[in-house]
Chain A
Amino acid sequence: AQSVTQLGSHVSVSEGALVLLRCNYSSSVPPYLFWYVQYPNQGLQLLLKYTTGATLVKGINGFEAEFKKSETSFHLTKPSAHMSDAAEYFCAVSVSYGQNFVFGPGTRLSVLP
């Protein structure tokens, strides 16, 4: 079975600072990996995804993530945090077409002025 861990339930950064949200997964087969963002009282919005091919993937709002098979990681980064990035971020894994996602516990990102 797949599982996802996200180190740090709450991360605070200053506006303009680097954002690094960690995600590690376990899977016995090559995974599909996703990052979703959830703003307060809203649904889940896809930030980016890795399926196959290039291991560095770029998403919306300046975010990117790198799939590192050897480290079983898919950390999310953004060079410069903006106040509007404050939200909950979820990493998710799936291993086949149509299979359900397994979500990590989430990381709440706070951006300080």
Chain B
Amino acid sequence: EPEVTQTPSHQVTQMGQEVILRCVPISNHLYFYWYRQILGQKVEFLVSFYNNEISEKSEIFDDQFSVERPDGSNFTLKIRSTKLEDSAMYFCASSGGRISNEQFFGPGTRLTVL
């Protein structure tokens, strides 16, 4: 069964450093998303991506964040200068759009900013 994969599973970084979180969505999906979950809190939407551009973003997704689909398979989230409060679990998701609104989630990347 196709699945969304994410790497790395755990990333530790120093405050102020850049990190790139990687995701491989399900191959025939059209919509891609990033969510985050701060420890013990709910899952929050960051950004959605369709047709090679951002379709929607939340207030969390400020200028420190960017997304990219550099090739036909990867979908990345970059945090330019990490802050302590960026420590969270980051989930990538993809959906087929027209056929089903179901979003398939990856296993997550746990980001720890020291």
Contact = CB atoms under 8 A, between A and B. Distances in A.
Interface residues of B, number: 27
Contact of B45 (A49, A102, A105, A106): A102
Interface stretch (A13-21, A68-76, A79-87, A90-98): A90-98
A101 to B, nearest CB: 6
Contact of B50 (A34, A44, A90, A98): A98
A98 to B, nearest CB: 4
A96 B95 CA distance: 12
A34 B102 contact: yes
Interface range on chain A: under 10, 10 to 19, 20 to 34, or 35 or more? Answer: 20 to 34
A99 B56 contact: yes
A28 interface: no
A109 to B, nearest CB: 15
A36 B43 CA distance: 11
Interface of B: 30-31, 33, 35, 41-45, 48, 50, 55-56, 58, 91, 95, 97-98, 100-108
Given A34-B103, A92-B43, A98-B50, 9 more contacts: A36-B105, A43-B91, A43-B108, A45-B105, A51-B101, A96-B101, A100-B58, A101-B103, A105-B41
